[in-house]
Amino acid sequence: MSLIENIAGFVNLQTVLVLLVVLLMTYVYVTRPRNLPPGPWGWPIVGNLYTLSKGNIHLTLSKWRKKYGAIVFFKIGTLGTVCLNDYDVIKEAYVRRSDMFGNRPTNLRIVNQLINQKGIIFAPLGPHWWEQRQFAVASLGFGSLRINERILEEAATMQAELLKTKGMEDIIIKRCLI
pTM for the model stands at 0.51
pLDDT of 158 strictly over 80: yes
Task: Give the three-state DSSP class for 70.
Answer: coil
pLDDT of 91 strictly over 70: yes
Q: What percent of the chain has pLDDT over 90?
A: 6
For residue 10, the Cα-to-chain-centroid distance in whole angstroms is: 45
Query: pLDDT tens digits, residue range 39-73?
Result: 888 877 788 888 887 778 888 888 999 999 999 99
SS percent in the chain: helix, strand, coil, step 5: 60, 10, 30
pLDDT of 100 strictly over 90: no
Q: Bigger pLDDT: 168 or 136?
A: 136
Q: Any idea where the domains of the chain sit in the sequence?
A: 1-31, 36-102, 108-143, 144-178
